[in-house]
Amino acid sequence: MFPSFIRTSFVAAAVLACPNFVLAQDGGSDFSAGDTAWMMTSTVLVLFMMLPGLALFYGGLVRVKNFLSVLMHCFAVACLASVLWIAGLYSLSFAPGNDWIGGLAHVGLRGIGLDDLQGTYPTTVWVMFQMTFAIITPGLIIGAFVERMKFKAVILFCSLWLILVYAPVTHWVWGGGWMQNMGAIDLACGIVVHATAGISALILAKFVGPRRHFPSALNPPHSPGMVMIGASMLWVGWFGFNAGSQGAASTAAGMTMLVTHISAAVASLTWMSLEWIKTGKPGLVGIVTGMVAGLATITPASGVVGPLGAALIGFLAGIICYYAVGIVKIKMGIDDALDVFAVHGVGGIMGSILLAVFGVAGFGGFGEFEIGPQLLIQIKAVGFAVIWAGIATVLIAMVCNATVGLRIVDSVENQGLDQFEHGETAYNLE
């Protein structure tokens, strides 16, 4: 790009200015600086979704006396998942093993060196990118039990859930396991993240029990503006989630980014319209919740659908997830406080199945499959993952309840988790 004498002068100046300056190595013949830069950027974007995106989105939806507890849950789970990922979960997810679980070759990241590549970028970047998925998945479940679950139980539940649910399902879908081998498609974790977290959230909410006075007297979000800010961070970060999962700065990543955005926009407007018709007022919390539903639903399909398919998926997400909220809370009587199952679970399941339809050329898609056979594969993969996550969640919840207890007492719920569990107050107004 630059004449050789300019490049030489730049290097000489850099060496003189900084004695520790060294030229970046190419990492081997397959190494791509562009792909590496994109994957590092995507990693930052996905972590941005959890901290601060999801934290502010969830935090704004709860009462002020429980605001800090939500932030604490998100932050602590991010740290916990990071340590567990390095200690052994990465190995169980991606090290060579069998159809059901990875091996132990990379426990403690053993055997992963500075020059190892994952395709065209460093394996260390791949480890970090996948770590952010492990961070945000149990983070989604937090929305189901806000304002009423013990902090000790949160830590124990998330630890066991990552080991028993997240690592195996990740291996099945992405690590060379049986779902990947049978041809299941899940570009960016409709099955791995949203379906598993959604069903687990529903079951855990049932185990913990509803908040006091549910559903007759639900308190409104303490800060809808904060909800919108957090949701906007999620929207931006989601491009790393989906387009980053293409593993390269490529034309495919560009299309994935485009269809992700289209689905979110269409789902937002659809949700807003339904709420407008039902209540007479289009709400801010409603439109941003529709956006999250559109993102969750397009996620598994974002590698095979085109703009038309993305718009249709967004439209269906806005309708089906909107009505799923009422079904869970009113019909089923489950206090899934922040609608994790209705938005993420239903959306992830729906997108994982609909990709077999909207991913074909007739809808402008790029999938190289026939609708019928692929549809059966997707249903089988989703069904098994949901059943596995559900059974494991029941067992984990029982263990937590028998050891540290799940539910806070009524007096603590009245006081709020911020003061009782963490000894702090969100807003000190003097």
Q: Look up the CATH number of the domain holding residue 68.
A: 1.10.3430.10
Residue 335 has pLDDT above 80, yes or no: yes
Q: What phi and psi, each to the nearest 5 degrees, are found at residue 241?
A: -55, -55
- pLDDT exceeds 60 at position 3: no
pLDDT tens figures, 361-397: 999 999 999 999 999 999 999 999 999 999 999 999 9
The answer as to whether 85 is a domain residue is yes
- Residue 387 is encoded by which pair of tokens? 């059943």
Give the Cα separation of 26 and 23 in Å (integer).
Answer: 9
Instruction: Taking the CA atoms of 72, 347, 321 and 345 in sequence, report the sign of the dihedral they define.
Output: negative
Residue of 350, 388, 65, 111 whose CA lies nearest to 222:
65
The model's pLDDT over 76-98, given as tens digits with 9 standing for 90+, comes to: 999 999 999 999 999 999 999 99
Residue 215: is the preceding peptide bond cis (ω within 30°)? yes
Residue 27: its pLDDT value, please?
44
CA distance 136 to 51: 9
Residue 336 lies in a domain: yes
Question: Containing domain of residue 202, as a range?
Answer: 48-419
pLDDT attached to residue 413 = 94
Q: State whether the Cα torsion 231-381-188-254 is positive or negative.
A: negative
Q: Quick check: is 76 in a domain?
A: yes
Structural domain count, the chain? 1
In a domain, 16, yes or no: no
Beta bridge pairs of residue 117 = 122
The per-residue pLDDT of the chain, averaged, comes to: 93
Does residue 317 have a pLDDT over 50?
yes
Q: How far is CA 273 from the centre of its chain?
A: 26
φ/ψ of 187, rounded to 5, equals -60, -50
Q: Rg for the chain (alpha carbons), in Å?
A: 22
Hey, what are 272's tokens? 């807003």
Q: Would you say how long the chain is, in residues?
A: 430
**pLDDT for residue 144 is more than 80:** yes
b/e map 143-181, b = 16+ CB within 10 Å:
bbbbbbbbbebbbbbbbbbbbbbbbbbbbbbbbbbebbe
How far apart, in whole angstroms, are the C-alpha atoms of residue 220 and residue 116?
50
pLDDT score at 378 = 98
Residue 270 lies in a domain: yes
In the 8-state DSSP scheme, what is residue 122?
E
For residues 200-229, give the mean pLDDT: 94
Please give the average per-residue pLDDT across 45-63, as a whole number: 97
Q: What is the pLDDT of residue 26?
A: 41
Structure tokens at 420: 């009782």
Query: What pLDDT is stored for residue 219 in this prediction?
Result: 86
pTM of the model: 0.92
Q: By the 8 A CB rule, do 139 and 52 touch? A: no
Q: How far apart are alpha carbons 398 and 379 in whole angstroms?
A: 29
Which pLDDT score, from 0 to 100, does residue 428 have?
A: 86
In a domain, 32, yes or no: no
Residue 27 domain flag: no
Of 258, 264, 259, the residue nearest 318 (C-alpha)? 264
Per-residue pLDDT at 2: 38
Residue 266, in any domain of the structure: yes
What is the tens place of the pLDDT at every residue in 177-205?
A: 999 999 999 999 999 999 999 999 999 99
Is the pLDDT at 330 greater than 70? The verdict is yes
